[in-house]
Amino acid sequence: MMDNLRTAANSVVLKIIFGIIIVSFILTGVSGYLIGGGKNYAAKVNGQEIGRGQFENAVASERNRMQQQLGDQFSELAGERKLHENHAPAGAEPPDR
Per-residue pLDDT of the chain (97 residues; tens, 9 = 90+): 788 878 877 888 888 998 999 998 888 777 666 665 566 788 889 989 998 889 999 999 998 888 888 887 877 777 666 545 555 555 555 555 4
The whole-model pTM stands at: 0.42
Instruction: Tell me, yes or no, whether 48 and 83 share the same domain.
Output: yes
Cβ atoms of 44 and 50 closer than 8 Å:
yes
Instruction: Tell me, yes or no, whether 46 and 25 share the same domain.
Output: no
Instruction: Tell me, yes or no, whether 24 and 54 share the same domain.
Output: no
Question: What CA–CA distance (Å, rounded) separates 95 from 84?
Answer: 9
In a domain? residue 46: yes
Residue 29, domain extent: 2-36
In a domain? residue 94: no
In a domain? residue 58: yes
What's the distance, CA 16 to chain centroid?
A: 31
